[in-house]
Structure 1
Amino acid sequence: MSAVHLEIQGAVATIRLDNPAKLNALDVPMLQQIDQHCQALELRDDIRVVLVTGTGTKAFCTGADIKAWASLPPAQFARSWVRDGHRIFDRLARLSKPTIAVLNGHTFGGGLELAAACDIRVMRTKARIALPEAGVGIVPGWSGTQRLARLLPEPLLKEMALFGRQIEAGRIQSLGFVAEVADEPMDVALEIAARAAELSPRATEITKNMIHVGVGEDRPALIEALGSAAMGASDDRTEGVSAFSEKRTPDFSGR
């Protein structure tokens, strides 16, 4: 049975982690389901905003389920578990639609890396974030030392990753990592999503791509995508395709 559900409410989609018995810890099937949902949502023009949250009030996600990776040989751990997780989180980060992580509870390890892959975050008042990997003899593997390093001050990142400290919601909001802190974060996220759904989807997509180019998120592919989008709307592209189909020399206008 699926432990990651896709819920649709009008123009807003919600990817929900549903493994509360393990505090929504991630295993391989859950990662695959996140990947599948992101692929499906990318193709849906009727969806304007995507939320990512967890079931319950204790945890958004406490990271990776230790039982899912503890027995893996070192090479497989690096090649599949870490790299597959990276690829899936990158897919979420590069989703063309605005994304909101709704941190309904504690957000640790891989859960924090998942939240970092979203565009903004809304957090429950009593929730905390942490990077506890060193406590079980591993290191952050799904962008905790890379994407998070662009979003958080270096001393704070080290405070979590090197000293095992948990950071409270109020402190993390003051640093801009969290947009809102609330007792009912989903209510706040839905209000934000409703406004975003009214905006031009094409404008928000292109703006998101431009921001990602600026911060280095998938920069080479996005530069070519933006250039291709501009040419795709040009008269020269129409003429080039027509000339190819008609087996003649194109007469480009430069428009």
Structure 2
Amino acid sequence: MNYQNILIAKEHNIATIIINRPDKLNALNKVTIQELHHAFSVLETHHDVRAIIISGSGEKAFVAGADIAEFAEFSVEEGIQLSAQGQETLFNFVENLRVPVIAAINGFALGGGLELAMACHIRVASDNAKMGLPEVSLGVIPGYGGTQRLPQLIGKGRALEMILSAAMISAEEGYRVGLVNHITKPDELLDFCYEIAQKIIKNSPAAIAMAIHAVNANFREGENGYETEIKSFGKCFGTVDFKEGTKAFLEKRKAVFTGE
């Protein structure tokens, strides 16, 4: 597929996706959401891709929100469909991806941009990043999972203050409240994320996928996370990776994992 709005590169089992709409501060429109879905879908099937980094082009923004012009005239039903399709196509899809995704937040991450970062498994921000969910200032609420994931990450009270005030917070504040894992200088951001990815790809892809599934289970309605962990733990024993990992440990050598 030829992409209009994203760029993809692969190196040493790590893929990098760059949202490439710098003139729009990398805002998410329908085309970009569909392209991201396709890219993540394809990369997940590539056995040589064991971690994915996503960032925005330019120096100003990761993603500065959704493309408001696309939905300014929507009806109630169209709004419901927009939110439901977006969550299924991209945000929930990324959260449940078998391959770990690292958000490299380079500048503004607002509205749908912060929601995309929160759907990723790990978040790293440059020290000039600004993050927020300003939707109520437009007469709407976050619709791509923001009202759910932000409280999960930083707590209900802080999340409500951010959402209801439509305020932006700095990278430092984001780190303090647990919204981002690390802060770096802008010119070190991608390299830092790459270092995290390199640590991840040394481990079993099969076990990593199971771990993501088990952690996410704690936040699913009606699902017992402990039960999911027990079943996922057991499934690991049937994988080639488990046999290789334990054998390598006993033989005092580095394991060579295949993800099987």
TM range, smaller chain: 0.7 to 0.9
Of the three residues 59, 62, 79, the one matched with 1:60 is 62
Q: Is the 8 A contact 1:212 1:218 kept in 2?
A: no
- 2:235 counterpart residue number: 230
In 2, the alpha carbon distance for the partners of 1:119 and 1:46 equals 19
Deviations 1:82-131 (A, max 9, x none): 11111121111100011100001111001000000011100010111111
- 1:246 counterpart residue number: none
Q: For residues 235-254 of structure 1, what are the structure 2 equivalents within 5 Å?
A: none
Alignment TM-score, normalising by the size of structure 1: 0.84
Deviations 1:15-61 (A, max 9, x none): 21111111110100000011111111221111110111100111101
Equivalent residue of 1:50, what SS? strand
Q: Is the 8 A contact 1:213 1:219 kept in 2?
A: yes
In 2, the alpha carbon distance for the partners of 1:198 and 1:150 equals 28
In 2, the alpha carbon distance for the partners of 1:231 and 1:46 equals 20
- 2:244 counterpart residue number: none
Equivalent residue of 1:64, what SS? coil
Unaligned 5+ runs, structure 1: 235-255
- 2:130 counterpart residue number: 128
Equivalent residue of 1:70, what SS? coil
- 2:52 counterpart residue number: 50
Q: How many residues align?
A: 233
- 1:182 counterpart residue number: 184
Q: For residues 66-105 of structure 1, what are the structure 2 equivalents within 5 Å?
A: 66-79=68-81, 81-87=82-88, 88-105=90-107
Identity fraction in percent = 32
Q: Is the 8 A contact 1:99 1:120 kept in 2?
A: yes
Q: Give 1:231 deviation, angstroms.
A: 10
Amino acid at match of 2:97: L
Amino acid at match of 2:86: G
Q: Is the 8 A contact 1:212 1:219 kept in 2?
A: no
In 2, the alpha carbon distance for the partners of 1:170 and 1:157 equals 16
Of the three residues 112, 115, 137, the one matched with 2:114 is 112
Amino acid at match of 2:132: A
- 1:164 counterpart residue number: 166
Q: Is the 8 A contact 1:24 1:54 kept in 2?
A: yes
- 1:3 counterpart residue number: 5
In 2, the alpha carbon distance for the partners of 1:172 and 1:33 equals 28
State whether structure 2 residue 184 is matched by structure 1 residue 195.
Answer: no
Alignment TM-score, normalising by the size of structure 2: 0.82
- 1:137 counterpart residue number: 139
In 1, the alpha carbon distance for the partners of 2:93 and 2:141 equals 22
Please, which moves more after superposition, 65-74 or 13-22?
65-74
